[in-house]
Amino acid sequence: MPSSSVHGRSDPARPSEHAAIARAHTDGMVWVPGDTFHMGSDNHYPEEAPAHWVKVDGFWIDRTPVTNRDFLRFVKATGYVTFAELKPDAKDYPGALPHMLRPGSLVFTPPKHQVDPRDWSQWWQFRFGANWRRPHGPRSSIAGLHNHPVVHIAYRDAEAYAAWAGKELPTEAEWEFAAHGGLNDAEFAWGEEFTPAGRQMANTWQGAFPHQNLATDGYERTSPVMAFPPNGYGLYDMIGNVWEWTTNWYSPGHEVDAAKPCCIPHNPRGGREDASYDPCQREIRIPRKVLKGGSYLCAPNYCRRYRPAARHAEPIDTSTSHVGFRCVIRERRSHEQK
């Protein structure tokens, strides 16, 4: 079995250097056995449809989202500067006002009263000086948040971290399959009920979004990565806390090859970059990737995306206070790595 050789346990005939490398990398990771499963859902938002069969091979996945502690280690080792810390280049943003071309990131800033729920500018503020080290703005810090997911991460920041760690970012199919925790046809990562016996299973929003944050789950914003119960694979925070980047280009629905109903897609990577643009954005065309898992801002009255099948489009240059990531290691790759 390939998985046992990665463990380096039951394959003493091949005590290869690769196994040792893979073992070092897979600390803090969980092996998710591959299978065929129903990806997507026909019962919720249109972008999740149609539900369709997909096959994924087994892979390793981080037990938790990447934390501030993890990310700090990466930045100390490499001197990496995140996208939100760099001054935007005017040529990438035609028509942008010059005073807006300063480093910053989107920070959730709740309004004091009820607002039009269609107008997200009522609660998302581009705050100069906000970045992963200063998640609420220039005067904030990650003191006390070392065990929280890192946020204000643009796609390329997640990619850079993954490459440094000898890992990769998950595809949407891998992420969704892992999120089910073995309950492949259940609505939620833990079963059919959102709050079984009244128990809050993930860091989501309680109250009327965006002005009323009751925080009955104990957290107004992000939470430590193991604060809520793991799923059936032992993975934490697949649902809620922060949205997580996947490698798939976004399209407003799953593309299923109707001409070949016999053929189940195997390890689909999904989507085309040129089809991933926001049709409403004519001036600034930034391609979008699929985010998964929902966040501490998902609320029953606004966004019921605290389910494995749910998805969201995020422009690759956009970082926010509710988007992070986790990594995977694919079997074949871990053997090929030097």
Number of residues that bind Cu ion (CB under 5 A): 4
At position 198, the amino acid (one-letter code) is G
Residues facing residue 67 across a β-bridge: 149
**Rounded to the nearest whole angstrom, what is the least distance from the CB of residue 304 to Cu ion in the complex?**
8
The enclosing H or E element of 125 equals strand 124-128
- Of 181 and 294, nearer to Cu ion (C-beta) is 294
**Rounded to the nearest whole angstrom, what is the least distance from the CB of residue 303 to Cu ion in the complex?**
3
CA distance linking residue 109 with residue 127, whole number of Å: 10
Question: CB neighbours of 87 closer than 8 A, spacing ≥ 6?
Answer: 101, 102, 103
- Of 83 and 108, nearer to Cu ion (C-beta) is 108
**Rounded to the nearest whole angstrom, what is the least distance from the CB of residue 20 to Cu ion in the complex?**
41
- Of 52 and 305, nearer to Cu ion (C-beta) is 305
- Of 304 and 335, nearer to Cu ion (C-beta) is 304
Task: Show contacts with Cu ion in window 68-87 (CB under 5 A).
Answer: none
- Of 29 and 298, nearer to Cu ion (C-beta) is 298
**Rounded to the nearest whole angstrom, what is the least distance from the CB of residue 15 to Cu ion in the complex?**
46
**What's the 3-state SS for 235-254?**
CCCCCECCEEEEEEECCCCC
Q: Where are the beta strands (DSSP E) in 28-119?
A: 29-32, 35-39, 52-56, 59-62, 104-108
CB atoms within 10 A of CB 262: 6
**Rounded to the nearest whole angstrom, what is the least distance from the CB of residue 152 to Cu ion in the complex?**
17
Query: 334: which DSSP letter?
Result: H
**Rounded to the nearest whole angstrom, what is the least distance from the CB of residue 95 to Cu ion in the complex?**
29
**Rounded to the nearest whole angstrom, what is the least distance from the CB of residue 131 to Cu ion in the complex?**
22
- Of 32 and 189, nearer to Cu ion (C-beta) is 189
Residue 160: φ, ψ to 5° = -65, -40
CA distance linking residue 336 with residue 334, whole number of Å: 6
Binding mask 235-274 for Cu ion (x = CB under 5 A): ----------------------------------------
Distance (Å) of CA 80 to CA 3, 133, 152: 33, 13, 14
Binding mask 283-322 for Cu ion (x = CB under 5 A): -----------x---x----x-x-----------------
Q: How many residues does the chain have?
A: 338
Task: Show contacts with Cu ion in window 147-166 (CB under 5 A).
Answer: none
- Of 31 and 45, nearer to Cu ion (C-beta) is 45
| Interface positions with Cu ion (CB under 5 A) | 294, 298, 303, 305
